[in-house]
Structure 1
Amino acid sequence: MATGKTESFKARKQKLRQSFITQFPQRLGQARELLIHLTPGSDQRERLDKLHLIFHTLKGSGASLGFDSIDASAKAAEHALREVLDQDGQVTVTDGLVAELEQQLHSLEALELALEPPHSHDTGPSFELSTRQATEGHVSKHRQRLVYLCDDDPQLAQELSGQLSCFGYQVIPFMTLDAVRQAFLAKPPGAIIMDVIFPEGRDAGPALIAEMNACLDRPVPSVFMSSRNDFAARLRSVQAGGNAYCPKPVKAVEMAEILDQLTNRIPSEPFNILVVDDDPDVAHFFAMVLEEAGMVTRVANEPEHVPGILECFDADLVLMDLYMPHCSGPDLARLLRQIPGYLSLPIIYVSSETDVDRQFKALEVGADGFLTKPLEPDRLVSEVRLRAERMRTLRSLMIRDSLTGLFNHNTILQLLEVALASCQRARNTLCIAMIDVDHFKLVNDTHGHPAGDQVLMALGRTLRLRLREVDLVGRYGGEEFAAILVGLDLDQAKTIIDGLRENFAAVTFFADGVEFHCSFSSGIAAFPEFSKASTLVEAADRALYRAKHAGRNRVEVAHDKTAAPEDT
């Protein structure tokens, strides 16, 4: 049964097909005009280049929009022109070339294009179905935060369950395979953590996961943990459908990060894709397909507009045509690679060019992939998503702290400058809270650095999940964090941070069977009381210093008359 969204997709595609049909005679007329002026025996590279671009566009655009009848004639004309244009030096127009182009152009002029439903390349409905199923799966995972943990070591099961509960998961520990099997069949969890070795066998854990998932339409994400770290154990877990493998001793911080990825509790931001093609119909068709998959797109039909668009559109990937007038795809790729900030921006060509050598030459200038028209929507989405995701990951490694996943020191300061400038223009308020874990050195000395990492991870996670989406959180350094709260005054910011302080102080941490608690102190400063980023940070630091010296585990606010305390 077609959904409203599917009908919308079809309707939009029909409009693009209608636009192609409307422009088809004009494009053939341009080709006819160029062909009339071709003179055998003369060098007319510029006119041949224009003819090649017309036939190349007709082939690629027609195929993408489902007009299969165009393909053979346009492809033959393009191939004949390409053979001549690839010659070094003077390009000679021959009678044979003119005759070949005349024959193929006549065949195209005889076509009667109609808006019958496209067949071989119209995968809109199946694409819609796969998108809808993926969305439903995401919603299901987002709502399920229940985790089962099974290990025949009672102490390990209880301790790891307790640690993971600090990170917002409802973890139920099991010590036997029968017990977790019964619970699983009664209510499948959002994820399951399973030991590999049990009294029933060296691979009993993976065997049970494979057995239980066979009963479900959608396998439950599973993480295996084991004292074994050999190839055979890892291979068995993969074959059983395992999504991750953690050698013992298991670090709760790492396990929480794995669970975050597997349960998709925080929806990721949509990918930003810039589509560059001189054919508006094809450009908008690709943009439409990507938007149906949840991406955000911008379209550029003129290559010279691309740098300007990229300045205000944070693209994760550029999808560009290979052949465009005045500026080819490789030329544009070279140009972008010379602009600071775009050296690693993924670039994918989409073209009807099938010659492998020419594809390879185009990739040599710094592009990351080549997709050949006609292109199925599912494949376009998969290829774009894969490369954009990789770009996001690399970018995240450069701007985020490796332990907490928060913005690093330099990035949070840059974001403060940007947020402050925005608030100045909009006459909005802004607060920055500097947060420091109390007695953190004592935690490391008493319980060890892994326990200290657990504390930092828990605090970072608390700030990230409990603050608003518009707020920015970073690890300022060591055990100190910074939170930028936009649109709040001092009293509102203090209330929020104070509530987080009380909740964090109630979290129970575990290390070697010992329970302990941690607290934090915070200092808050506000704009416009402090008008510069540097003075905001300094004022918040002074307020934090006062909170520390007033007994810790408290929040202080900064005012204009707050003086720097004397060193003690």
Structure 2
Amino acid sequence: MADPNELQAKLNLLSDAYAAQLPEKLKQIWLVWEQLPLDSWDEKGFETLHRMVHSLTGSGKTFGFALLSDVARNLEEYLKQLAQAKTALSAQQRSHIQISMRELHQVTLHRDAPVGDQAGLIAVAPPGQDTASSKHIFVVEDDHDQAEELNIQLSYFGYDVRVFNKLADFRLAMQQNPKAVVLMDINFPEDSRGGIHVIEEIQQGRDIPVTVVFLTVHDEFATRLGAVRANGIAYLSKPVNIGNLIDRLDILTSTLPSAPYRVLIVEDSEVLAAYYATVLEQAGMVVKAVNNPLDVMHPLLEFAPDLILLDIYMPECNGLELAKVIRQLDAFVSIPIVFLSAESDLDKQLFAMDLGGDDFLTKPIQPQHLVSSVISRIRRSLILRSFMVRDSLTGLLNHTAIKDQLDHEVAQTKRQGTPLSFAMVDIDHFKQVNDTYGHQAGDRVIKSLSRLLKQRLRETDMVGRYGGEEFAVILSNTDGAMAVKVLEAIRKDFSQLRHLADGKEFSATFSCGIADVSHFGDPAKLGDAADKALYKAKHAGRNQVILA
């Protein structure tokens, strides 16, 4: 995050740059106006004039020229009316336009006070939720058997668990460890909504709410509403899906920084694009700006944004056309597209949304409103996307998603000339684990391997559940020899893990096959080679890593 004073200085510099460009902008508008024919209708020329005036409508107030925006908006509305007729302009109409254009020149001399303290208004919001600071879990459940089952399963995944069967004991413990994550039942013998009521009491007067996940058999709206009002961050139905619960706890207790949101800005005004980029970067996002819409394809594929911020009125290709092009790409069918324009016509805004937009923000927009809108759209998109591309048990990429990602990574590797390896991992004798210890134990083994892979691999590496007990790993910037070292270390550690089922301990191993893109140049050949190497590892005795 930038220092607020430094950010304010950047915004002031952008405002000064905008002011310095205004004389040339107005000169270009006047030249376009003078080139329009007197006795006929020039639709293309008139559209250019309208677009250039429109750009002042949205940008003026942003940089301290409120009067300029107002005059430009009045002229823009008049030009819209004339555009509907599509006939040569009368002398009176030309005179009206010329008077308005002279007024544009005059109001550029009336600059508001320098850009206000906008740095302080920008809400700095990290991508993920605030996380709990410890691995301490308080299970509050009056059913002793259910509480003990949760204790065993959570402890297996590395959590420090304390069980409370009585609300009074829990109240006392919270005074000593207020940062624990609470798994709270709702129904207790003395109070059918006792879990909610005691959490409401504890939350009162706290600056930072207790992190609470409610676990219950109740599904009534009133109960759910009560849980929300008690600041519950999740509401899980019994019997609890332990995989979903572990995923939630992993997020809440993770000490790893969340990946910053990525925003692609397509805006023909360089100074406006720089302004939006500065605001969003202050809020912790990574931003890429494109000023020519015809150049968007390469950064779109390389940058892989979480959201696209798109101007509507641009030369050569307007935002509506660009949105349709983007929506025709399978990889970007669901990416949020937010239009950002001074267009105030509701019908045109709705038309833009119908062509593939997810939101429409009207210029000028306050910095904090821009940040809030972008963050909320990205968060919702990532949640929905996770349902489509994530495996429900492990939280890893599913079969289709990891294959799509392999296609993307191989293509990028070829363009950049960087190494890449692909690994197939399969748990040995997994059917015996299920038959001997039960499917719940088998699920825990799968979950433990998925967590180990995520913990030991880099943020840039990608892990997917390929199917059943089989996993796929994409190791970017890693040749085959290094990939073998990485997976071999993980294999050794996994073989030493002790798994528990019905009081009995057991261990599991995996076999792995690896292929290097330098020897297998396309995704299909790379995947096939890794699969064959895995087959060799299995037939050579299992519990080993083989490079194709």
Taking structure 2 as the reference length, the TM-score comes to 0.88
CA distance, structure 1, for counterparts of residue 341 and residue 415 of structure 2: 46
User: Residues 229 and 337 (structure 1 numbering): CA distance in 2 closer, same or farther, change over 3 Å?
Assistant: closer
Residue identity matched to 1:44:
D
CA distance, structure 2, for counterparts of residue 415 and residue 37 of structure 1: 51
Do the aligned partners of 1:166 and 1:509 also contact (CA within 8 Å) in 2? Answer: no
CA distance, structure 2, for counterparts of residue 95 and residue 237 of structure 1: 69
Q: Which residue of 2 aligns with 1:118?
A: 115
Equivalent residue in structure 2 for 1:376, among 361, 366, 381: 366
Q: CA deviation at 1:547?
A: 3.2
Q: Paired residues, what number?
A: 537
Q: CA deviation at 1:199?
A: 2.9
User: Residues 176 and 518 (structure 1 numbering): CA distance in 2 closer, same or farther, change over 3 Å?
Assistant: same
User: CA deviation digits over 1:527-547, x for unaligned, max 9?
Assistant: 499756222321122213433
User: Residues 420 and 326 (structure 1 numbering): CA distance in 2 closer, same or farther, change over 3 Å?
Assistant: closer
Q: Which residue of 2 aligns with 1:522?
A: 511
Residue identity matched to 1:255:
L
Do the aligned partners of 2:5 and 2:119 also contact (CA within 8 Å) in 1? Answer: no
Q: Which residue of 2 aligns with 1:496?
A: 490
Q: CA deviation at 1:451?
A: 4.2
Equivalent residue in structure 2 for 1:435, among 426, 444, 456: 426
User: Residues 250 and 523 (structure 1 numbering): CA distance in 2 closer, same or farther, change over 3 Å?
Assistant: same
SS in 1 for 2:490: helix
Equivalent residue in structure 1 for 2:540, among 537, 546, 553: 546
Residue identity matched to 1:497:
R
SS in 2 for 1:547: coil
Equivalent residues in 2 for 1:276-355 (5 A)?
276-355=266-345
SS in 1 for 2:60: helix
SS in 2 for 1:225: strand
User: CA deviation digits over 1:82-131, x for unaligned, max 9?
Assistant: 111133xx333133433332333222212325584224xx532121xx31
Do the aligned partners of 2:453 and 2:490 also contact (CA within 8 Å) in 1? Answer: no
Q: Which residue of 1 aligns with 2:239?
A: 249
User: Residues 16 and 498 (structure 1 numbering): CA distance in 2 closer, same or farther, change over 3 Å?
Assistant: same
User: Residues 92 and 515 (structure 1 numbering): CA distance in 2 closer, same or farther, change over 3 Å?
Assistant: farther
Do the aligned partners of 1:6 and 1:124 also contact (CA within 8 Å) in 2? Answer: yes
User: Residues 288 and 423 (structure 1 numbering): CA distance in 2 closer, same or farther, change over 3 Å?
Assistant: same
Q: CA deviation at 1:64?
A: 2.2
CA distance, structure 2, for counterparts of residue 40 and residue 55 of structure 1: 20
SS in 1 for 2:53: helix
CA distance, structure 2, for counterparts of residue 150 and residue 142 of structure 1: 18
User: CA deviation digits over 1:329-366, x for unaligned, max 9?
Assistant: 11222233334433333222100111101112222222
Q: Indicate yes or no: 2:538 matched with 1:558.
A: no
Q: CA deviation at 1:467?
A: 3.0
Do the aligned partners of 1:80 and 1:100 also contact (CA within 8 Å) in 2? Answer: no
Q: Which residue of 1 aligns with 2:212?
A: 222
Equivalent residues in 2 for 1:149-548 (5 A)?
149-263=139-253, 265-413=255-403, 422=413, 430=421, 432=423, 434-438=425-429, 440-445=430-435, 448-484=438-474, 486=478, 488=482, 490-491=484-485, 493-503=487-497, 506-509=498-501, 515-525=504-514, 527=516, 533=526, 534-548=528-542
Q: Which 10-residue stretch deviates more, 383-392 or 523-532?
A: 523-532
User: CA deviation digits over 1:372-431, x for unaligned, max 9?
Assistant: 011111221222222233433444444432321222334445655766784998685857
CA distance, structure 2, for counterparts of residue 326 and residue 525 of structure 1: 47
Q: CA deviation at 1:447?
A: 5.4
Do the aligned partners of 1:45 and 1:91 also contact (CA within 8 Å) in 2? Answer: no
Do the aligned partners of 1:523 and 1:545 also contact (CA within 8 Å) in 2? Answer: no
Residue identity matched to 2:119:
G
SS in 2 for 1:159: helix
User: Residues 202 and 194 (structure 1 numbering): CA distance in 2 closer, same or farther, change over 3 Å?
Assistant: same
CA distance, structure 1, for counterparts of residue 47 and residue 378 of structure 2: 33
CA distance, structure 2, for counterparts of residue 313 and residue 529 of structure 1: 24
CA distance, structure 2, for counterparts of residue 403 and residue 77 of structure 1: 59
Q: CA deviation at 1:76?
A: 0.7
CA distance, structure 2, for counterparts of residue 524 and residue 298 of structure 1: 37
Do the aligned partners of 1:276 and 1:320 also contact (CA within 8 Å) in 2? Answer: yes
User: Residues 528 and 450 (structure 1 numbering): CA distance in 2 closer, same or farther, change over 3 Å?
Assistant: closer
Do the aligned partners of 2:64 and 2:112 also contact (CA within 8 Å) in 1? Answer: no
CA distance, structure 2, for counterparts of residue 192 and residue 101 of structure 1: 67
SS in 2 for 1:206: helix
Residue identity matched to 1:76:
N
Residue identity matched to 1:117:
P
**Which ranges in structure 1 are unaligned for 5 or more consecutive residues?**
549-554, 561-568
User: CA deviation digits over 1:410-463, x for unaligned, max 9?
Assistant: 44456557667849986858573523153x334444555444333322321222
Q: Which 10-residue stretch deviates more, 378-387 or 202-211?
A: 378-387
Report the identity percentage.
Answer: 34
Q: Which 10-residue stretch deviates more, 492-501 or 348-357?
A: 492-501
Q: Which residue of 2 aligns with 1:552?
A: none
